[in-house]
Amino acid sequence: MGERLIMVTGGARSGKSRWAEKMAADLSQGRTVLYIATCIPRDEEMKQRVRRHQQGRPPDWITVEEEFDPAEKVKNPARGTGVILLDCLTMWISNLLLREYREDREESFYYEKLIPAVEELAVAANAAPCPVICVTNEVGCGIVPDNHLSRIYRDLAGWSNQVLARYASEVYLVCAGMAVDVKRLAAAYGWNPLPPGAENRRL
Which residues are known to be catalytic? 53
Distance CA 144, CA 169 (A): 31
Q: Peptide bond preceding 88: is omega within 30 degrees of 0, i.e. cis?
A: yes
Q: Output phi, psi for 13, to 5 deg.
A: 60, 30
Q: Output phi, psi for 192, to 5 deg.
A: -95, 115
Pairing label, strands 170-175, 5-10: parallel
Distance CA 93, CA 196 (A): 20
Distance CA 59, CA 118 (A): 29
Look at residues 70, 80, 87, 171 and name the one whose alpha carbon lies nearest to residue 123. 70
From residue 15, alpha-carbon distances to 21, 155, 172 in Å are: 10, 23, 11
